[in-house]
Chains A and B, each alone.
Chain A
């Protein structure tokens, strides 16, 4: 994999908190990378470091071999789509899109503006006011504005968080299709696993300023590198001590089992079904084990009843050494 964009040992601290600590990442040309993490994990700070709005305390940034750590945002040639789009309210759609093209002569600029608007399916919107647009249209104008100057890298800050939930899934697909058509190297920030999996080729999981793991969605789900990744990405039941032994691990291990990898059996971890949540094809059963531990089983809707005594066994487990912290 050829590394196009490299983050090398990037660290950034604010007055009292460490926002980003020693993050190293390589992103291939044309790749879409998701930065996934809970709030406060440092993902937005990494995006702002990439854009040049923040300067790292240590570490380096390279794009296509060129070091850009100290290059100001205006000369970085990175396109950015902001969470709330940051469209200029005093300019119309066309002027917004043309903002980054000011060096060109007029005719060339107009041509690029209409090409960019066509790309996001807003052909002919040049003279519209940005306030008159719907949220989805504003997002696409922001995207056209960021892409018009033909940046080297596209950065997206929570690109779908401002959209209606019903609109999100469709927009996600359209966004991915568009990025792939342009073929631009893209980094985006999200706190939603589904969004990261759907939109990203690879996902970088962050926690407390540290990079926990980078990988494809499958890798993260099937082979999480840390307990944090195992529990943050996808649903996970965590078993310790005696319960860990009962599902096939050892006392000194932490065993993580996905709900769909647990099943009701004749023997195994004993417990009582406390709740049943029907989802159509299957049902989630909340089980309380005899040791007091609670876990979820995804099974056939008719597999068990609330109040029933059950035994649970694990089909596949992910094990970690018990951290001695």
Chain B
């Protein structure tokens, strides 16, 4: 270990050997975990800034929509909510929608930054990390972050007494899956972008309308027949309806539809992740 000895020689003339110390070939798993660790480290250094928001957002929404708006809805004795208080109807869906928004965001600026601004991905790629490992780090972290957001939201729901049943906890993994179904294809697309133009379009014409019209705040049956099918095209309604059915215990009323929800969500997530890996390879190895 002449190398190690040399390095301990302080500011002597031999900090580095003439030739490398033979860094061993790394396994793909280890490389992927190293990329993930970077995101985790970033979070550890900045979590204080976001933790308040993670609690505040569910509280604000549940108070405004669940209690405020819900008071009116419940007073109208409307049967569209399946006979449960509005806040109970709303809570699992709001969890999934909120997680979706956070995950979609993770697919935009952090990815654009990794390629174009702080060029984090390029720094990673000049080491033994492969594009696959880098893509894994990003999407793996997005899944973690989504699960954390969902778990905090779930806790707030329980504290509000807004949980329909203990099955509310299923909303957390459904939220994560829905998040991936959005984040992965968005990340694949953002890897090709040079500026934030696409971000604005994605938000204005995609995320915000979906958030409002995917059955979170009212059943999609309220939508005109002509546009109701749109809800089927995008993953959010599938996640919303599945989480709600599980939470309210109505999942067996229409098990085929619920299974279809799960299949469609999974398909979006898997195709999205594959697309992301392909695009990361293309964008990095030019």
Query: Do the two chains belong together in a single complex?
Result: no
